[in-house]
Amino acid sequence: MQASQIAPFFAILQAANPHPQTELHYSSTFELLTAVLLSAQATDVSVNKATRWLFPVANTPQAMLALGQEGLEGYIKTIGLYRSKARHLLATCRILLERHGGEVPRTRQELEQLPGVGRKTANVVLNVAFGEPTMAVDTHIFRVGNRTGLAAGKTPLAVEQQLLKRVPAAYAVGAHHWLILLGRYVCQARKPRCWECAVAAYCDYQPKTPAP
């Protein structure tokens, strides 16, 4: 993708979805952090099904700790890796209470010190909760970045760095959501739906099969 094509690419995505939002359900920054932590190697749909029952019971670090390991596992056992995620989440709750007054920190360094929180999770929280122009590169964004030519890279970090350089400032905050949704519903892994892609004219990818 040529540099001159990037702004029109995002302008189209913005016009179709002016106020993009995460598909994870949450009503507080702590709930968002919890949902993102649980979403590693899991779908947003599966996380939402679990948190629909978890959050009415435990939506603060104190309440989450009160559940204990076994109690928390009971709410999230339908999510992959639920045992380790429960351990990480409870350890995170302890740190939030001991070091941050029960609040979710606003810096990358502090977020990445929380158990189970890596660079991608921190980027999501910084972007969604605090409006920072970060690029949380998941499998969808990694694929879209490479396939379209927008941000080529062999690792998620390389793609993230390219996005930070190439995405115009006017689109930086929403870019994470637009690219995820594009990858989730249109630019899919096995069979990209190029024939219904609104930004196909700016994409480097050449479909190998005709539209159905």
Res. 211: pLDDT tops 90: no
For residues 15 and 60, membership in a common domain is answered with no
Instruction: Tell me how far apart the alpha carbons of residues 102 and 99 are, in angstroms, rounded to a whole number.
Output: 8
Of 107, 128, 149, the residue that ends a domain is: 128
pLDDT of residue 41: 86
Q: Is 77 a known active-site residue?
A: no
Helices (H), the chain: 3-16, 29-38, 44-54, 61-76, 82-100, 108-112, 119-128, 139-148, 156-166, 172-185
Quick one: pLDDT at residue 206? 79
- In tens, the pLDDT along 173-204 reads 999 999 999 999 999 999 999 999 999 999 99
- Asked whether residue 64 is domain-assigned, the answer is yes
Set 49, 77, 85, 120: catalytic member:
120
Per-residue model confidence (pLDDT) at position 210: 53
The answer to whether residue 120 is catalytic is yes
Catalytic residue, chosen from 138, 154, 191, 204, is 138
Last residue of a domain, one of 101, 128, 155: 128
Domain that holds residue 106: 29-128
d(CA 96, CA 115): 11
Instruction: Convert the pLDDT of each residue in 102-149 to its tens digit.
Output: 999 999 999 999 998 999 999 999 999 999 999 999 999 999 999 999
The mean of the pLDDT values for the chain is: 94
| CATH number of domain containing 98 | 1.10.340.30
Q: Are residue 158 and residue 101 in the same domain, yes or no?
A: no
Q: What is the CATH number of the domain that holds 181?
A: 1.10.1670.10
